[in-house]
Structure 1
Amino acid sequence: MFEEKGWSCSFPEELVGLNLVFACFDVLIAILAFTQLARIRSRNKQLGWTRQKVFHILIGTTNTGYFIYFVLSLVAACRGWLCWSYSCGFVAMAFPRILLFATFLLLLSFWVDLCHQADDEEEEDDEQGFLEALIQNSLNRPRSSPADSRRSCYPFRLIHVGSRQKIVVLVTVLVFLLMMTFAVLIWIGMEENPIDSSTVSRVYVDLFATAILLLGAALACYGLLLCRKMRNVRSERASSEIWKVAGLAIVSVLSFTSSALVALFTDIPVLYHWHELHIDGVYTSLLLILYYFIGSSVPSAFVLWVMRELPPMTLANTQEESTTVTFITDSSAQIRRPQNWTTSASSQNQVSRGSPI
């Protein structure tokens, strides 16, 4: 299936250059995501897998997948790989798109959590509690058991997955299985049989584009709802978080709408099957920019920019955090605590507060 027809690349020159630009941009985003993940891990190793780390892993993996896809697309076109025009190119195209879908579906699940938590806090009529419900970090819960030092060697045990996040994992697995089913059908369609591989791939692209549109609409609705709730909180931090949520909602809607429309009405997503498509250099290049750059790279980069803040450093000596010393004088009884205890307490308070993403 990987027979080569010599190195005579007939791929349009405009698309060759554009693919190289996309590959460079995606590998840059992936490097930034993994580098930031390493910095976050080095600053606070006791928190386990926080929401911030999970998003960086997903974004880094997504853009790594796109980088591989763009590079292999050029190599396959010049080498004339037969398999690439069918199931192999389809899997390479669909897999990073599924990871991008999972990233923003996870973002939506956290926004839904925050909106429902905010509703619960409104019933208590407590403004400070309402703010904490809006900006708390719900993915990772701090643990204070004596076994923390041993658990730090097994970070996956520190993951706390909410009910809605479990739904995200389930949906992602189902979409991946659906994609693999379509890939098998496309592979079967390579032989002499009634299955048309191009039709099968188009059906998958249309279904996934519809799911992307629905995800963008859901992010817009819950982003607006979350911003309205946060406007009732009189806090500078709430104001800054409003801009983050609003920016993410706007970028998500514009990016996903443009990419979904391109997928529904053009053959851009199945460009790996390029030798059977009519390609106009300038027109196809514009559609590629809308689908890949605006539809994938821009929202990924924007999430990295929003989550650029590093967590506070943790203190090395955790045993001193729980110790207190009492000094009693003849004039009055005064309770004093060491400076490192107060520093640790304020640091833990900052760590326990997250952002709406």
Structure 2
Amino acid sequence: MRKLVPSPSLPTATALAGTPEMAAVALALALRGWWEEVNGSPAWQDGAFFSLSAAYALVSAVALVQLIRIQLRVPEFGWTTQKVFHLMNFVVNGVRAVVFGFHAQVFLFQTKVYTLVLLDLPGLLFFSTYTLLVLFWAEIYHQAKNLPTGKLRIIYMAVNGVIYVIQVCIWIYLGTNDSPLLEPVSKIFISVVSFLALLGFLIYGGRLFFMLRRFPIESKGRRKKLYEVGTVTAICFTCFLIRCIVVAMSSFDPDLSLEVLDHPILDFFYYMLTEILPSALVLFILRKLPPKRVSAQYHPIR
């Protein structure tokens, strides 16, 4: 049996009879009834989560194909930032596809922390994947400004390491203590992590974009790079902003919870807007392969 989270009751239409707002309230009640019926329908749940699984599998396959194409084009280079980015996209989206493919089991674990781990860990990996772009842009910006770049990777790894350690500690505590207060704290932590990501895109994506705009030489390559940086920054900033707001709100409002089976429509649009569409768009924008021979325009980052 699928366990559903009960929704708070609303006043009935008869209690509001005779008021000027009766028609509007009746419509709201009808919509609420439809919403609750959809949320409680196994058919809608399966449709939403299997659709998410298929979409994630498609994006994962695209990332793998792109990784293989890059490897065939420049096999002499090691694991560059570009290759690692596509590999992590393949892993993140593949894990999401499997999780949502088995949604009926994932959301109904007797121990809630197992569900949280399976849903939150890919989100952290998504953070690490896309902040790689922030690291790459930061290195370009620092090199252009003749600033040291040696500590940028250390900062990236340190920040990610601290985030994962804190999250693992939260999971361990949730698994050993049945505290109703710690789950909202975990959601707020994920919201803070998303805020750090959008801040990184705003700072270094914005800096690199305006630096490219100030270049005196007008060329096709400059316009393409300007378009690439600007659009990827806007996409990633928006998706992490939505994630930050929705997760923060869900920590206070159970009706916005993303860790239950009976919110299929909310989950569908949330993951579609914060991971699937951004990943698909960014992979499309960054689809260009490196040149076959090393040139002045291509510097692999090992």
> TM-score by structure 1 length?
0.66
Partner of 1:166: 154
Query: Superposed, which structure 2 residues align to 1:1-357 within 5 Å?
Result: 8-9=1-2, 12-13=41-42, 14-77=44-107, 80-83=108-111, 86-120=112-146, 162-189=150-177, 195-196=178-179, 198-233=180-215, 234=217, 235-266=219-250, 267=254, 271-274=258-261, 279=262, 285=265, 287-313=266-292, 347-349=293-295, 352-353=298-299
Deviations 1:195-239 (CA, angstroms, capped at 9, x unpaired):
41x432221111121221232133123222211111222222111
**Amino acid corresponding to residue 26 of structure 1 in structure 2:** Y
Distance 1:27 1:350, change over 3 A: farther
| 2:19 matched residue in structure 1 | none
Letter matched to residue 250 of structure 1: A
- Structure 2 unmatched runs, 5+: 4-39
Q: CA deviation at 1:184?
A: 1.2
SS at 1:49 equivalent: coil
CA–CA distance in structure 1, aligned partners of residues 183 and 127 of structure 2? 18
For the 8 Å contact 2:57–2:97, the answer to whether it is kept is: yes
- Structure-2 change in CA distance of 1:90 and 1:308 (3 Å): same
> Taking structure 1 as reference, are residues 245 and 53 closer, same or farther at Cα in structure 2, changes over 3 Å only?
same
- Cα distance in 2 between the residues matched to 1:166 and 1:67: 31
Q: CA deviation at 1:36?
A: 1.5
Q: Distance in 2 between matches of 1:352 and 1:55?
A: 17
Q: Deviations over 1:309-339 (max 9, x none)?
A: 12233xxxxxxxxxxxxxxxxxxxxxxxxxx
Gaps of 5+ in 1: 1-7, 122-137, 139-161, 190-194, 314-346
Cα 1:30/1:299, change in 2 over 3 Å: same
Answer yes or no: is the 8 Å Cα contact 2:56–2:276 preserved in 1.
yes
Q: Classify 1:349/1:310 alpha carbon distance in 2 versus 1 (closer, same or farther; 3 Å).
A: same
Note the C-alpha offset of 1:292: 1.0
Q: Is residue 255–residue 298 contact of structure 1 (8 Å, CA) maintained in 2?
A: no
Q: Deviations over 1:104-132 (max 9, x none)?
A: 222112222222222229xxxxxxxxxxx
- Code of the residue aligned with 1:74 in structure 2: it is A
Question: Are 1:251 and 1:299, in contact at CA under 8 Å, matched by a contact in 2?
Answer: yes
Q: Deviations over 1:52-89 (max 9, x none)?
A: 10110111111112112212322345xx5313xx1211
CA shift at 1:42, angstroms?
Answer: 1.9
User: TM-score, normalized by length of structure 2?
Assistant: 0.77
Larger radius of gyration: 1
Higher relative CO (Cα under 8 Å, sequence separation at least 6) belongs to 2
CA change 1:306–1:354 in 2 (3 A) is farther
Counterpart CA distance in 2 for 1:174 and 1:71 is 30
1:43 offset after TM fit, Å? 2.1
Which one-letter code corresponds to 1:181 in the other structure? C
Aligned-partner Cα distance in 1 for 2:134–2:272? 22
Q: Given residue 74 of structure 2, which amino acid in structure 1 is its aligned partner?
A: N
- What do residues 125-162 of structure 1 show as CA deviations (whole Å, max 9, x unaligned)? xxxxxxxxxxxxx9xxxxxxxxxxxxxxxxxxxxxxx5
* Same amino acid, percent of matched pairs: 22
Are 2:56 and 2:97, in contact at CA under 8 Å, matched by a contact in 1? yes
Any conservation in 1 of the 2:61–2:90 contact (CA below 8 Å)?
Answer: yes
- C-alpha separation in 1, matches of 2:270 and 2:181: 20
**Alpha-carbon RMSD:** 2.5
One-letter amino acid matched to 2:285:
V
Provide the secondary structure at the position in 2 that maps to 1:94.
Answer: helix
User: Offset of 1:269 from its aligned partner?
Assistant: 8.1
Q: Is the 8 A contact 2:49 2:100 kept in 1?
A: yes
Task: Tell me the secondary structure at the aligned position of residue 67 of structure 1.
Answer: helix
